[in-house]
Copies of this chain bind each other. A is one copy, B any other.
Amino acid sequence: MTTSEEKRQPEITLTGCGYHRVLELISDKWTALVIYALENGSVRYGELLRKIEGISKKMLTHTVRKLERDGLVHRHITPIVPPTVEYSLTPLGESLLEPMRSLRQWIRVHDSQVMAARVNFDQTYNKDNDSPNLEDHL
């Protein structure tokens, strides 16, 4: 019955698409920033909190926990009082730096083109005003 004119079922699924699966690891609001902060070696919790602008304790903890669960980040506790907690990339996490850097390189090269495309798009399909603030969500 499915011989000649087979109904084609969807070929692309969330769980089957490699693009989507990596992005799940690194695409919430703060994950990329934390990885960036750990690129040059281990950093303490409080330091991360100060280095990453705008992050709250809640979100920092949430983000490093998720990274730890996925095996990308290691958490090292020195059990003194008060406690010292160092975070660092695991070898697995470091192996992800290379593909991530090529992404970053892409935006460095093409950022202006993206910006230009946005301005052009917003002008073409004019957002029903003539003196809008073009900066999106800054």
Contacts and interface: CB of A to CB of B under 8 A. Distances in A.
B53 A22 contact: no
Interface string A109-132: 011011011101110000000000
The SS class assigned to the A binding surface is helix
Please give the count of copies of this chain that the complex contains.
Answer: 2
Contacts of A18: 103-105, 107-108
B104 A102 contact: no
A53 B106 contact: no
17 contacts: A8-B50, A10-B50, A14-B54, A17-B33, A18-B104, A18-B108, A19-B26, A19-B35, A19-B103, A19-B104, A69-B122, A71-B114, A71-B116, A71-B120, A96-B106, A96-B110, A99-B105
